[in-house]
Chain A
Amino acid sequence: MSAPRGPHLFKDIDTPGLTGIDVYRKLGGYAELGALLQRAPEEAIEVVKASGLRGRGGAGFPTGLKWSFVPKSTAKPKYLVCNADESEPGTCKDRELMEKDPHRLIEGMILAAHAFGANTGYIYLRGEFAYIQTILDRAIAEARAAGLLGQRCAGSGFRFELHTHLGAGAYICGEETALLSSLEGYRGQPRLKPPFPAVEGLYRCPTVVNNVETLMNVPEILRRGAPWFRQWGTDKSPGTKIFSVSGPVARPGNYEVPLGLPLSTLLNEHCGGMRDGFRVKAVIPGGSSVPLLPASMLDTPLDFESMTAAGTLLGSGGVIVIDDRVCIVDALRNLIRFYEHESCGKCTPCREGTFWMSEVFARLEAGEGRAQDVDLLADVADNILGKSFCALGDAAAMPVQGALKHFRAEFDHHVRERRCIVNRRRTELEQVPA
């Protein structure tokens, strides 16, 4: 077995048989679950708050704080929902985590649920993760058989039931209120906030929705304490984070690194730099919904604050490397088509704006752009930004604004020359040998 792939979540990730409860236990899993469940729930919230753990799904909201919003005294049942809809283009970390280490997620969910008093949990998987559902269902059955789930979790007085729920193809269901709509059996469209899910979520009951990676951090944080977690990362972005790196780097893949690591270090050292003959032109650092960074800004540290300062977002950790043979207009055309396809249709700006931008991008890329088109795109993006019902509209608008900010010349070129700036169209690129 080679060196560990990461300091924490990826330390043992490739251990053979880890999907089984025995191997997970051998590595220390579930060992202190019973003891942790004996402690007062508020303690867990305090420890997680102190650890500074922030949501790993994209928004980066402090996890302990989110849990603390759940009303203590309520007659209603409470729910914990794991957002395993992993749909943000460029992101494929949760899939590997669940595929290889399902019990850590289960343990994390038991502990999170205990912290704010949920007795039922659901793992909402994107529809394509049917095979992961099989893995998780088997692990849940093992945990149940071992007395870790059910009426008395790990011998404690805590009751927790856990089910998987398979989506069926809708990016929007990664938005937490849309996810809850979908889980309840409605079309997966977002709902009004407030009320926030912590107060009125699933079945109008208090609900916490946490990302897979977030929840998988929980067992070790509670076992080892906040300072242990804070050995990595920055003050405001503690811990490690898994980044999915895609594009023509030498070694694309999922990497667990301490937050605050410069993006260039991730690309050059962990991913082995670019493939031969490719040069980086821009990087989308946090999944397709965030503004891209030009090659000149690759030294930006990978943490929430630095990314915001650089005009983009850490997001979900989906790092998409765009090389210099790729036309930015074409790359954006691809992404905007994605958002048009995934817009749920509920609100006007997102529904109509993504369609409109998609049409304009297609025309621009085809060399049929007009002088006013570039400003029009900027204007349409601005008319979506902050005016749509949920963040999907913003997610479509921000990359356009980022691209216009850093690569306006490429857009203008398309209009002026009535053709794509890149000599070889990306679709004509030779396949890079794996």
Chain B
Amino acid sequence: MSVPAPMAPAPPLVALEPPLAWPAHLKSAVDEALSHYPVKRSAILPVLWIAQREWGWLSPAALKLAARTVELPEPEVFGIATFYTMFNLKPVGKYHLQVCMTLSCSLMGGERIYRHLAGKLGVGHRETTPDGRFTLSRVECLAACAGAPCLQVNDDYHERVDEAAVDRLLEQLP
């Protein structure tokens, strides 16, 4: 056995940055979400949604805030957030283009829509354009099968689209 190693530097005792807190305008939404359930942990998805809508993605600080809010261990919240595909653990663009690639859409040209967008924007799956405007994602069935092919731009559905419709859509986005 070697001579005991020098003592590791003590970890910082208080975080260098103050922990993230809910902005005043979100407090009532957070309280409302918590009020819906008999146990706090049930509010984890609503609370993560509130955070993602506010900041666009779930930073480690936001995950810790959510953990504190619903009194769950931070690692568990990390596990929950990564289980679900709609939580962005990295920043995304202003418009998240989510192209359905599952069978019904695929039968009707979903892959072509995706390829068109990838070529037009110059980005791949889960990538964001350099201007931060668009993130492109392949997604699985969006429950718009009868309106295939379909894509979601943020929360909005756009059904029975073709390349031209997608081009128009992108141009119209503010």
Tell me if chains A and B make direct contact, with any CB pair below 8 A. Answer: yes
* Majority secondary structure, A binding face: mixed
A187 touches B103 (CB 8 A): no
A426 touches B107 (CB 8 A): yes
When the two chains form their complex, are residues A185 and B84 in contact, meaning their CB atoms are under 8 A apart? Answer: no
A345 to B72, CA, bound (A): 22
**Given known contacts A187-B79, A245-B146, is B48 in contact with A168 (CB within 8 Å)?**
yes
Chain A residues whose C-beta falls within 8 Å of the C-beta of B147 in the assembled complex: 92, 252
In the complex formed, the residue of B with least CB distance to A335 is B103
State in angstroms the CA–CA spacing of A283 and B111 once bound together: 21
Q: How far is the CA of A320 from the CA of B107 in the complex (A)?
A: 9
Which residues from chain B contact A334 at a C-beta distance below 8 Å? 101-103, 106
- Bound-state CA distance A342–B48 (Å) is 21
Chain B, interface size category, equals 35 or more
Which residue of the partner chain A has the closest CB to B105?
A: A246
Q: How far is the CA of A284 from the CA of B103 in the complex (A)?
A: 11
A318 to B104, CA, bound (A): 10
Which residue of chain B is the closest to A432 with respect to CB atoms?
B108
Is A171 a contact of B46 with CB atoms below 8 Å?
A: no
- Interface readout for A232-265 with B: 1 if CB under 8 Å, 0 if not? 0000000000001111100011100000000000
A40 at the A/B interface (Cβ < 8 Å)? no
Contact between B145 and A182, CB atoms less than 8 A apart: no
Given known contacts A92-B143, A126-B143, A131-B156, is B102 in contact with A338 (CB within 8 Å)?
Answer: yes
Segment touching B, from A13-21, A62-70, A82-90: A82-90
B141 at the interface (CB under 8 A from A): yes
A177 at the interface (CB under 8 A from B): no
Q: Indicate which residue in B70, B140, B144 contacts A338 across the interface (CB closer than 8 Å).
A: B140
Q: Which residues of B contact A247 (CB under 8 A)?
A: 104, 107-108, 148
B74 within 8 A of A: no
In whole Å, how far is A261's beta carbon from the nearest beta carbon of chain B?
A: 17
Q: Which residues of A contact B83 (CB under 8 A)?
A: 170, 187-188, 344
Residues on the A chain within 8 Å of B142, using CB? 128
User: Given A335-B103, A338-B102, A434-B162: A169 and B111 within 8 A (CB)?
Assistant: no
Q: How far is the CA of A129 from the CA of B39 in the complex (A)?
A: 24
Within 8 A of A (CB), among B45-92: 45-46, 48-49, 70, 72, 79-80, 83-87
A432–B106 Cα distance when bound, in Å, is 12
Residue of A nearest to B86 (CB): A169
Footprint of B on A, CB under 8 Å? Answer: 77, 86-92, 94-95, 122, 126-131, 163, 165-171, 182-188, 203, 244-248, 252-254, 284, 288, 318, 320-323, 326, 331, 334-335, 338, 341-342, 344, 426-427, 429, 431-434
